[in-house]
A and B are shown apart, each in its own frame.
Chain A
Amino acid sequence: GAVVSQHPSRVICKSGTSVKIECRSLDFQATTMFWYRQFPKQSLMLMATSNEGSKATYEQGVEKDKFLINHASLTLSTLTVTSAHPEDSSFYICSVNLPKRGGTDTQYFGPGTRLTVL
């Protein structure tokens, strides 16, 4: 069954508005979640690592003031794209690490959110 859910699956908004995307881990607690962005026909790009109860760690080149991440609980992380512009249109995917026996984590992805900024 699904390990991670995302909401909404698709959103269309006007330029200048803010959009919030939710990522939830199902049936387990995730202290760390990851946010990726994928432009058409390109590879996954890690944007940031969301840490429960502390500030997110952003990858180089990702504006922390534009992409606000909140990980307020062990099952929910949110990504808010502030003042969205057409160039922010992309496929946003969250993922969580599911701990496995032996200490090896495996990353599972949410279904993704398709953002279109008009």
Chain B
Amino acid sequence: QKEVEQNSGPLSVPEGAIASLNCTYSDRGSQSFFWYRQYSGKSPELIMSIYSNGDKEDGRFTAQLNKASQYVSLLIRDSQPSDSATYLCAVNKSGGYQKVTFGTGTKLQVIP
């Protein structure tokens, strides 16, 4: 079982729709969760971080965390073509442990 699992996609959504990206993780000791966006040929860019159960909203982005289910998701409202990218889920055990484990990423395509 992979430590961090994501559906590779591509996930295609029409412009203006809600894109839902999902991620599961295997280590129950994980405490910090991140979503990165990576455009083709570029390095990852931090979008959201979440540490406690529930929802965290930042503009059009909402991160959702459910530690009991070991599940974290990212919702993108009013999707735009510029949101088309690969989204990486990352998990950190925290507690002073600095290494982050990345999922393989989900490719999102927003169709105009």
Contact = CB atoms under 8 A, between A and B. Distances in A.
A44 B46 contact: no
Q: How large is the interface on A (under 10, 10 to 19, 20 to 34, 35 or more residues)?
A: 20 to 34
Interface string A14-43: 000000000000000000101000000011
Given A44-B88, A93-B43, A105 B98 contact: yes
Given A44-B44, A109-B45, A112-B43, A103 B88 contact: no
Interface residues of B, number: 24
Contacts of B94: 103-105
A3 to B, nearest CB: 9
Interface in B31-66: 31-32, 34, 36, 41-46, 49, 51
B46 A106 contact: yes
A117 interface: no
A93 B41 CA distance: 11
A73 interface: no
| Dominant secondary structure at the A interface | strand
29 contacts: A32-B98, A34-B100, A43-B88, A43-B104, A43-B105, A44-B88, A49-B98, A91-B41, A91-B43, A93-B43, A93-B44, A103-B94, A104-B49, A104-B51, A104-B94, A105-B92, A105-B94, A105-B98, A106-B34, A107-B92, A107-B100, A108-B46, A109-B43, A109-B44, A109-B45, A110-B43, A111-B42, A111-B43, A114-B41
